[in-house]
Amino acid sequence: MVTLRRPPQYQRSGPTLEPYQVVLRPLITEKATHLSERHNCYCFEVNSLATKTEIKQAIEQLFNVEVADVRIQNRRGKLRRFRLKQGRLRNWKKAIVKLKSDFRIDFY
């Protein structure tokens, strides 16, 4: 008998996150709109501690859809000036979620 999925080799060291804690907000940009219209992909800002499997489960629970693929990007915060001092915006994680062809998410 062949097992297709292997059990995880590690235990999560961080806190357990609820679905509404994983997905922080949808990203509505020109590029994200292009992805959603043509490729059925949606962009979200997610918690920096979240993994791909947690993101997939959270999107499926919050929006009642089936997820085909999840890609993540760790985005570096931009440098900004605050009066006379050089500052920096925080780093954040972006998730690009591809849905199965039968499903859609309506943000507006």
Strands (E) across the chain are located at: 23-26, 41-46, 67-75, 79-82, 85-88, 92-99
Residue 68 confidence (pLDDT): 96
Please check the confidence at residue 2 and state whether its pLDDT lies above 60.
Answer: no
* pLDDT band with cut points at 50, 70 and 90 for residue 107: confident
The predicted-structure confidence for 56-88, as pLDDT tens digits, reads as follows 999 999 999 999 999 999 999 999 998 899 999
Please check the confidence at residue 9 and state whether its pLDDT lies above 80.
Answer: no
* Superfamily of chain region 19-99: RRM (RNA recognition motif) domain (3.30.70.330)
Mean pLDDT score across all residues of the chain? 91
Residue 3 confidence (pLDDT): 59
CA 6 to chain centre: 24
What ranges in the chain are assigned the alpha helix state H?
19-22, 30-39, 52-63
